[in-house]
Structure 1
Amino acid sequence: MLATTVVTTAVAAGVIAAPVIAGLGYRAVRRWRTARATAIRTRDGIAEERFVRVGGIDQWIGIRGEDRTNPVLLVLHGGPGSPYSVFTPLLRSWEKHFTVVQWDRRGAGKTLGRNGKAGCGELTLDRMVDDAAEVVEHLREHLRQDKVVLLAGSMGTLVGAQLALRRPGLFHAYVATDCYVDMLRNEAAGYRMTLDRVRAAGNGRGVSRAVAALERIGPDPSRWDVRAWGVKMQWAMRTDPVTPNGAMKLMLSRVLTSPAHTLRDVAHWFSGFAYSRDRLFDEFMAFDARRLGSRFEVPYFLFQGDTDVVTLTGLAEEYFAELQAPTKALVRIRDAGHFCAFTRPEEFLRGLLSHVRPLTAPQTTP
């Protein structure tokens, strides 16, 4: 009997272990191939990752580009705790024209891994704006450039807009993408649109479950807790008319196969998503960009997917029309939803080269 039990246990362990081993093998191959395909080999290129002392703690930044004299493009990630460093391989073509900087903010990604939750200290949007200004000052000195281009995505726009307004002299331009404006209005409209899409799908079991889940949380986002917000986000992404659940699938696939992320880093990426979301929930739900002011002293560009169901395209464009800036332009990314920079990186790059990069040329005096 004992021998039979041992054999049965061994077989069960083998059955469980086999797909795990296969998955790890697939991950290793993907990481190796991606690392080779994205290697920087130019004479004046730069490929660095380091921890920098920012806001009293060590924070991770990655710097990549084919020519360190190219203009610097600092990326502010969304989430609010979902670092975009996992998307670096998708932006390889950008690195021919910009030195692209990824930064894992406090409470997220490798910065969370370095410090732990207790060591990350204060977690507020205002603290992150101050941190971002320190990162820019570091980049100016380290890369010997007077200004940078600021690219903020999704909840990164909650930090980016405030930074561009407070410290315009640091930037050639501010580029917002997947832009949040008035969170309560965005979530209320997004809820109605999501429920309409679900109901239009028919009467299947999955549809009934989705309708019931959305009806339970109700249409008023001012009454939601973080769990209710998660329900709305889940069904908004699942019913994306361009690529159902495409944003989440893209993020998960890139997290799990990133050549720059160990399994420990992956674990911190996931834990940082939840930690930052929970800590910042009340603050980001109260955000309204209009309260910051509508006059920017830096060129302002909105790059928006034309069918974004998370940061609603119509609301972002309405806000953009109200803004005043020395130069501004709206770039619609066709057939794209949330994460349009990463689902349509070549089209996004064309917009950057057309509108933004010319502003980074050295100014000559007559």
Structure 2
Amino acid sequence: MTISSTSRANPILLVIHGGPGSTYSMFEDATQQFARQFTVVHWDQRGAGKTYRKQKVVPRNLQTLVEDGLTLTQKLKRVFPDVPIILWGSSIGSILANLMVQQGENLYDLYVATEQMTQDSHQFAYDQLLAETKHQSLRRHWLQKLPADAHHWTAKQINQFNIFSAIQRSDVPNMVTTLFIKNMLQNRDYSWQDCLAFIQGMRASYRALHKELDAFDYRRLLTKIGMPFVIFQGAHDPITPAQATQRYFDQVQAPVKKLFIVPGAGHLCLFARPKEVSELRRLVFANKYDDRGCRPRRNLA
């Protein structure tokens, strides 16, 4: 776990990374910008990154990671008493964060998702990419090897599609080359052993969780929440398209909810456009906290 901040009084931004096993702690440049406004907590989950390098242990299931996250949150509340905690789930991490809120809503003050995974994400992404490649026979031929109904894809097929679709987009920062690889190579705190552990951890976590992810029931995602509910969505995300995110967002009932479309961004939109996080700070402080400084008032629109 790494903690970056300019003030202990800043709201905590607890980052739940995607993957499985795809830690975000290498995004130093973006984290420095976030840390001007928040206490940013990057957590390499069990089976991910530097945690996996220290101990070759993988999660038994998704619930293992949910419980780890809740335990970590409780420790943060002891170290930073009376400081609001914003839970940020990204990509597959948006599933974990979603489940964490359902099991420990009283621990958090605001829920944020980026690249929110939904029941329709893969289908919209597949249909979108198939339409865009109709004049590119080789790419179209590869896509048509996948089942037309993306709801029946395996985790392996999902992983293959995600990598393929990310490479196809040239109008947004590439998730693999521009974001992950570039940041790992430029981060002074990332050794070659850490880079190796990142790759090994992703493989190990995939083997541990792929069957559960294959069968995940997206009806388990929350549809009602008692705190502000916020989604940041890359306008040109090839993996979790805006149409699917919008459909899920419309279903959620919350006292305050906001959907921010991030222009010029694909997957991992806040790492590609970190200045957009200022919108989150404005939303946090637009809500008056109670006498303890923790819980936003529920009657704000």
Q: TM-score, normalised by structure 1?
A: 0.74
How many Å separate the matches in 2 of 1:235 and 1:360?
44
Shift, 1:330, TM fit: 1.3
Please point out which of 29, 35, 42 is paired with 1:95. Answer: 35
**Deviations 1:101-122 (CA, angstroms, capped at 9, x unpaired):** 0000011111111111xx34x4
Q: Is the 8 A contact 1:194 1:235 kept in 2?
A: no
Please point out which of 178, 192, 197 is paired with 2:115. Answer: 178
For 1:158-173, what aligned pairs fall within 5 Å after superposition? 158-173=95-110
For 1:1-366, what aligned pairs fall within 5 Å after superposition? 61-116=1-56, 119-120=57-58, 122-182=59-119, 185-200=120-135, 202=136, 207-208=137-138, 210-240=139-169, 242-243=171-172, 246-249=174-177, 250-346=179-275, 348-359=276-287, 361=289, 363=291
In structure 2, do the counterparts of structure 1 residues 123 and 257 end up closer, same or farther at CA, with 3 Å as the change threshold?
farther
In structure 2, do the counterparts of structure 1 residues 98 and 280 end up closer, same or farther at CA, with 3 Å as the change threshold?
same
Shift, 1:63, TM fit: 0.5
Shift, 1:321, TM fit: 1.0
Shift, 1:241, TM fit: 5.6
**Deviations 1:166-195 (CA, angstroms, capped at 9, x unpaired):** 21111110001111011xx32223222222
Q: Is the 8 A contact 2:26 2:187 kept in 1?
A: yes
**Deviations 1:79-100 (CA, angstroms, capped at 9, x unpaired):** 1211110113222122111110
How many Å separate the matches in 2 of 1:86 and 1:97?
19
Which one-letter code corresponds to 1:323 in the other structure?
V
**Deviations 1:155-214 (CA, angstroms, capped at 9, x unpaired):** 1001011111221111110001111011xx3222322222222233x4xxxx51x33322
Structure 2 unaligned regions, length at least 5: 294-301
Q: Secondary structure at the match of 2:130?
A: helix
Shift, 1:270, TM fit: 1.0
**Deviations 1:11-35 (CA, angstroms, capped at 9, x unpaired):** xxxxxxxxxxxxxxxxxxxxxxxxx
Return the index of the structure with the highest Cα Rg: 1
Which one has a larger percent helix, Structure 1 or Structure 2? 1
How many Å separate the matches in 2 of 1:128 and 1:187?
23
Shift, 1:289, TM fit: 3.7
How many Å separate the matches in 2 of 1:223 and 1:320?
23
In structure 2, do the counterparts of structure 1 residues 293 and 353 end up closer, same or farther at CA, with 3 Å as the change threshold?
closer
How many Å separate the matches in 1 of 2:182 and 2:288?
34
Higher relative contact order (CA 8 A, sep 6+): 2
Q: Is the 8 A contact 2:48 2:205 kept in 1?
A: yes
Which one-letter code corresponds to 2:100 in the other structure?
L
User: How many residues align structurally?
Assistant: 292
Q: Is the 8 A contact 1:176 1:303 kept in 2?
A: yes
Percent of residue pairs identical: 27
Q: Secondary structure at the match of 1:167?
A: helix
Which one-letter code corresponds to 1:248 in the other structure?
V
Which one-letter code corresponds to 1:75 in the other structure?
V
Greater alpha carbon shift after TM alignment, 318-327 vs 102-111:
318-327
